Amino acid sequence: MRKFNIDFNKALKPVLLVYIAIFVIGIIWSVIFGVKLDINFSGGAKVSYSYTGEIATKDIETIVDKHIKKEYSLSQSTSLAGDTQTFEIALSGKNALSAKTQEAMTKDLVAKFKDNKIELYNSNSVSPTIAGSFFAKSLVAVLITAVLVVIYVGIRFRKIGGVSAGITALVSLVFDVLITFFVCVIFGLQIDSNYIAVVLTMLGYSLNDTIVIYDRIRENRKYNPDMEIGELVNTSVNTVIIRNIVTTATTLLAVTTIIVVSEIFGLTSLRTFAIPMVFGLLSGAVSSLFVSGPLWVIWRRRRIAKGKK
């Protein structure tokens, strides 16, 4: 097996600069174009219709514009089996869709597209108050997970400075979460329950890569107690880099397949999970190798220097 001799401590600064550049671009993009929130987070209404044959989006909008005078989004999708085609109309925030308006719009759509067998497929509305409560609960779930990460890593790796290992691991996880968020913003994807699933998945996946590295650091330190801490981390990370690359590559292959399928069939729900997941996996691989370990080195070196003083 090929042996690597990468100095991950020296690579920390350029890697951090790349992350910072991405974050700055993401923030600017968010300010200019805004962040799309699903109605579960912002409140609003969704109504979808099933149909057969082909219907142009502009033809649907002609009918919808007569009944909805507020800003809305329109999307079309096809089921994996190809037997169900739907289009969805979504209004966010306080924009409600009354039963009377929905009934009149449905009637006109059916009359306009007589040969397409249009039927009401699903209708859903969420008040801004309930949406805010759901969003807050989602954030609490993520925060609880983050705290548990620090506690778990701190206990498991207490022999190499557990708290420092837990906090530096958490920093790299925060980077991964921010990457997935800004990917959603840049690609115009909605922040919905799928995004929360991506975040929780990334917390587990990226943490696993970091734990593998910390475990190797602990093992090498046991057999080489006098090794300088920076050299210890470089030696440890270089021995597991192939494992991390292979694991990430195989997972990326599976998630990329999901993206291809979602693009072919227009499955929006899969896109909002798979696209940020791909970039999250890539960020997780980079942060576990180039961020968590080198940050831990900086932390421990300062503690050692402080102890000598």
Same domain, 175 and 286: yes
Question: Hey, how many other C-beta atoms are within 10 angstroms of the C-beta on 82?
Answer: 9
* Phi, psi of 225, rounded to the nearest 5 degrees: -65, -20
Same domain, 158 and 117: no
Side chain identity at residue 154, one-letter code: G
- For residue 93, what pLDDT band results from cuts at 50, 70 and 90? low
Q: What is the pLDDT of residue 276?
A: 92
**Local structure of 304: helix, strand or coil:** helix
Decide which of 104, 126, 148 is a domain's last residue.
126
Q: What is the pLDDT of residue 27?
A: 95
Q: Whole domain around residue 15: which residue ranges?
A: 8-38+130-308
Percent of the chain residues topping a pLDDT of 90: 27
Same domain, 95 and 231: no
Q: What is the pLDDT of residue 81?
A: 55
Buried b (16+ CB within 10 A) or exposed e, 11-31: bbeebeeebeebeeebeeeee
The greatest distance separating any two alpha carbons of the chain, rounded to the nearest whole angstrom, comes to 84
Same domain, 120 and 145: no
**Confidence check: pLDDT of 281 > 70:** yes
**Confidence check: pLDDT of 80 > 70:** no
Residue with tokens 């602990």: 218
Same domain, 162 and 287: yes
Q: What is the pLDDT of residue 39?
A: 81
Who wins on pLDDT, 261 or 275?
Answer: 275
Decide which of 126, 154, 187 is a domain's last residue.
126
Same domain, 69 and 195: no
Same domain, 61 and 157: no
**Backbone conformation region of residue 34, classed left if phi is above 0, alpha if psi is from -120 to 50, else beta:** left
Who wins on pLDDT, 37 or 29?
Answer: 29
Side chain identity at residue 277, one-letter code: M
Q: What is the pLDDT of residue 56?
A: 87
Residue 211 lies in a domain: yes
**Confidence check: pLDDT of 181 > 90:** yes
**Confidence check: pLDDT of 82 > 60:** no
Task: Determine contact, residues 228/309, Cβ cutoff 8 Å.
Answer: no
**Could you tell me the end-to-end alpha-carbon distance of the chain, in angstroms, rounded to an integer?**
43
Residue 210 lies in a domain: yes
Same domain, 263 and 158: yes
User: What is the CATH number for 51?
Assistant: 3.30.70.120
Residue with tokens 């550049």: 21
Q: What is the pLDDT of residue 156?
A: 82
Same domain, 234 and 283: yes
Q: What is the pLDDT of residue 291?
A: 92
**Confidence check: pLDDT of 257 > 60:** yes
Residue 192 in tokens:
């919905």
Residue 189 lies in a domain: yes
Residue 2 lies in a domain: no
- For residue 97, what pLDDT band results from cuts at 50, 70 and 90? confident
Q: What is the pLDDT of residue 158?
A: 82
Q: What is the pLDDT of residue 269?
A: 73
Q: What is the pLDDT of residue 14?
A: 95
The total number of structural domains in the chain stands at 2
Residue 49 lies in a domain: yes
User: What is the CATH number for 217?
Assistant: 1.20.1640.10
Strand locations in the chain, DSSP E? 44-51, 73-78, 85-92, 119-126
**Confidence check: pLDDT of 124 > 60:** yes
Could you tell me the CA-to-CA distances from 74 to 44, 243, 286 in Å, in that order?
A: 14, 43, 37
Q: What is the pLDDT of residue 2?
A: 56
Residue 14 lies in a domain: yes
